[in-house]
Structure 1
Amino acid sequence: MKLAVIADDFTGGADAASFLKRKNAKVVLVTKIPHKQVECDCLVFALKIRSIPKNEAIESVKQVCEYLKSHPVKHLYYKYCSTFDSTPKGNIGPILDFLLEYYHLNRCIICPSLPENGRTVENGILYVNGIKLAESPLKNHPLNPMWDSYIPNLMKEQSKYPCLILNRKSFDSYYDNCPDRDKHYIIPDYVNIDDAQHIVKLFHNDYLFSGGSGLLEHLFQFHNNEHVFSAKTATKTIVLCGSCSKATKSQIESWINKGKTSYAINPNSNIEELYSYIQESGSEILFYSNAVFGDLTNANRDSTFYSNAKKIESLLSKLGAFAYKNAYNRLIVAGGETSGAITSVLNFTSFYIGKEIAPGVPTLIPTHQPNFHLILKSGNFGNKEFFLEALEE
């Protein structure tokens, strides 16, 4: 294998796999440590480690590192959300610290940019569509809010090691002006493809990388290997939306405006009634949380808020399992937490990577069920026609 990726949630894993697939990599995505040899160029570990206790997250990452001892790769890439995590208890810093120490490394780049989706970094500041992250609509994410745009400030609360800003004017002179240092992180400018190629050229001999999915395809270009996987066309589709993001809201609205079948659920919805609704509906149906059309900007995030979110996640997981057992062969999920829950319930642990529906959102085909299509979308990904376009893949 040439590259291993540790993604901090399921949609992040699919996102990473999609960008690698663009470069004709043979990619396998797994949700657990494989018990046997996996034949591929790139192995993506989709772990649910973004919003769990730090010690549990590090233990999951350690298991991957132990696996890689007997399955060596040229690069290990820790992939996290391109809009980072500004909470002091965020896991990005602790996991990066662990990886530096585990591999006895002195540095790792932090590169959350994904210019294709409007996420860029310049002078250490993370932007979303040209707006500083902390001033963008993404600042109020319910689980991973973004209250600061300056990455060194975000890392200072999470990590024990300092950050070095590397602007593009300094790319070519980096090694001349940067003597040996103690453990540290490097935050390079990355706003376009030229920046990405410069970063890879500069650091391509490093073992450890970290960031969003934007840099992955350029890193793999050093080891390109053609592989094509095709899947049969899906015929029955269920869409399950746990995300309440602005992007997902517009996608739900487009679905409804097209006259497609939909159902708004709430934490107290009766699961048997929902099962009946599936059986009575046609071949395309969408379920979404009724909270998506409410005002979550100033929502009281108390224990009831999180309890209701878990109830919605549980309902959607049960609907996904029911649809799978009732001959639905395309399942589209919006929301990272929901995607992780549903994938776990279905007990899918490894996937081939099929057609890309939108940047960072591929079709996943379970290796043991090649006639089933699974599409996992981060809440903020995709244009307003995403669900409708996914029906055409």
Structure 2
Amino acid sequence: MTKTSKDGIVTQWELHTIRVREARVGPGAERDELKVTNSVGIIADDYTGALMVACYLEAAGIYAPLVFHPDAEVAESSVVVAGTRARTIEAATAVSNVVEFLDGSAMGGSSRFVYKPSASFDSTPSGNIGPVADCLAQRTGWAPTFMAAGFPEVAITTHLGYLFYRGKIVTASIKRFDPLTPMPDPDLVRFLSQQTDRGVELVSHLDMCRGRRFVENKISALSSKGAGHIFFDVSDEADLRLVADLAARSKSVFIASDPVAVAFAKNIVGNSAIARAAPRHVSGPAAVLVGTVAPVIQRQLAAFSEVHPVLALDLTQSKNPEAIASDAMEWAAEHVGSRPFAIATSRDQSDVERAHAAYGSIGAARRAEEVLGILAREFRARGIKRFLVAGGETSGSVVSALGIKAVRGFPEGPLGTGFCVTTGEDPISLFLKPGKFGSDDVLLEALDHMR
């Protein structure tokens, strides 16, 4: 079913919405009586990005629970955000994880879905953005897929298909030091084309400067030509608004960076958004866990160490992760409950290089995540109530280790996004921070903010 209802035939997704409506409120229910027809499911490829989106939506007055399990229980909402660990795992597993959320009860009533990679579409030549986009297109029957990378507010942009990171072409930026996704090709159209057999075409910033009608005609031409995916430049805020609006009005799968996904969701739910009272932080002992190696976090740890103790682990020692964590617990014992402290899996880039030489980039990352996951469970058992976690993959390992299924994000504030509190009994507060974001004193300020 591919034609519109104007022709007397419903689309595949309209059929899905009718079935959801009849299952929940019975046949014949009016569209404006059913909030689910306007609901949006946003599936992010890491936990910090998922939380960032949830916080932006909360700041816009839209209740947006964040789930880490496909069947997590959440209150009725206009938008549900899901955090996965799909960025760096094997492509087939990443696709499977996304499908679990598509089919899970947490966002099973959503009528539109967005897959949200990082703002710079961090990935490898083999995936996982292309495979997920192909899967979503196949499941919905919608083609071509729309793709849009960029975050102009923080100087992450795309122009003529090329990715610029903080004002520099990505291969000349600090992004080139990323141990898992260094993005060796700045041409995202060419780079993404390695991840899919369906082809990637470009709608450039120059195209969008010629106006909506020109862009709509180009989309139509590319679609008629059989384009599998259409990539849109996001060079500035005007590009961002236009592509989000075009996606909201289309019947296309959308693969979108943080601010584009937020703009899309706001366009879909409009004035019907469900709002709820803001959450409150939990007071209690705090710990900082750092698994990222970005230069930014090194400066942040240096500022933190001027006030609180910091331990840097050596992942290259012959001990297994449990033994490394046990040694760290001995060091932390005198601090737990008495003062904040931080544990990092490296001191500097040289530590990272040694770990990579010993275990490979993926192996070293998984070793670090395992150690920090063990420590998170131990600290939680000993009464830690506030966790500050740096790094998207690290955040995923800590949240998973703690068995957290759902959180409520706090609206964006003076320190930006990243704050949340778990739902259910015995809550804890968390600050999940992307490794490359924040001022030098953000860890210290976050501690004060979470009181």
The TM-score normalised by the length of structure 1 is: 0.91
Structure 2 match to 1:339: 395
Task: Give the C-alpha shift of residue 4 in structure 1.
Answer: 0.5
Q: C-alpha separation between the residues in 1 aligned to 2:84 and 2:161?
A: 27
Counterparts of 1:169-208 in structure 2, within 5 Å, are 169-172=209-212, 173-177=214-218, 178-179=220-221, 180-181=223-224, 182-207=226-251, 208=253
Q: Point out the structure with the larger helix share.
A: 2
Q: C-alpha separation between the residues in 2 aligned to 1:337 and 1:86?
A: 13
- Percent of residue pairs bearing the same amino acid type: 21
Indicate conservation of the 8 Å contact 1:110/1:186, yes or no: yes
Q: C-alpha separation between the residues in 2 aligned to 1:149 and 1:339?
A: 27
Q: Point out the structure with the larger strand share.
A: 1
Q: SS at 2:333's partner residue?
A: helix
Task: Give the C-alpha shift of residue 382 in structure 1.
Answer: 1.6
Q: SS at 2:249's partner residue?
A: coil
Task: Give the C-alpha shift of residue 192 in structure 1.
Answer: 2.9
Indicate conservation of the 8 Å contact 1:49/1:57, yes or no: yes
Change in 2 beyond 3 A, CA 1:115/1:336: same
Gaps of 5+ in 1: none
Change in 2 beyond 3 A, CA 1:3/1:151: same
Structure 2 match to 1:209: 254
Cα deviation digits, residues 245-275 of structure 1 (max 9, x gap): 111111111112x321111112246433322
Q: SS at 2:86's partner residue?
A: coil
Stretch moving more, 371-380 or 184-193:
184-193
Task: Give the C-alpha shift of residue 43 in structure 1.
Answer: 1.0
Task: Give the C-alpha shift of residue 351 in structure 1.
Answer: 0.8
Which of the two has higher C-alpha Rg? 2
Indicate conservation of the 8 Å contact 1:89/1:158, yes or no: yes
Indicate the structure whose relative CO is greater, using CA pairs within 8 Å and at least 6 residues apart: 1
Counterparts of 1:226-245 in structure 2, within 5 Å, are 226-245=275-294
Q: C-alpha separation between the residues in 1 aligned to 2:396 and 2:142?
A: 31
Cα deviation digits, residues 30-72 of structure 1 (max 9, x gap): 1111165641221111111111111111112222222379833
Change in 2 beyond 3 A, CA 1:305/1:362: closer
Q: SS at 1:339's partner residue?
A: helix
Gaps of 5+ in 2: 1-35, 318-322
Indicate conservation of the 8 Å contact 1:81/1:212, yes or no: yes
Structure 2 match to 1:318: 374
Structure 2 match to 1:65: 102
Q: SS at 2:82's partner residue?
A: strand
Task: Give the C-alpha shift of residue 109 in structure 1.
Answer: 2.0
Q: C-alpha separation between the residues in 1 aligned to 2:106 and 2:288?
A: 39
The TM-score normalised by the length of structure 2 is: 0.80
Q: C-alpha separation between the residues in 2 aligned to 1:183 and 1:370?
A: 50
Indicate conservation of the 8 Å contact 2:50/2:66, yes or no: yes
Counterparts of 1:1-393 in structure 2, within 5 Å, are 1=36, 2-34=39-71, 38-67=75-104, 71-85=108-122, 87-166=124-203, 167=205, 168-172=208-212, 173-177=214-218, 178-179=220-221, 180-181=223-224, 182-207=226-251, 208-222=253-267, 223-224=269-270, 225=273, 226-256=275-305, 258-267=306-315, 268=317, 270-281=324-335, 282-292=338-348, 294=350, 296=352, 301=357, 303=359, 306-356=362-412, 361-369=417-425, 371-393=427-449
Q: SS at 1:284's partner residue?
A: coil
Change in 2 beyond 3 A, CA 1:70/1:23: closer
Q: C-alpha separation between the residues in 2 aligned to 1:371 and 1:298?
A: 38
Indicate conservation of the 8 Å contact 2:80/2:106, yes or no: no
Stretch moving more, 125-134 or 290-299:
290-299
Indicate conservation of the 8 Å contact 2:282/2:421, yes or no: no
Q: SS at 1:32's partner residue?
A: coil
Q: C-alpha separation between the residues in 2 aligned to 1:358 and 1:163?
A: 38
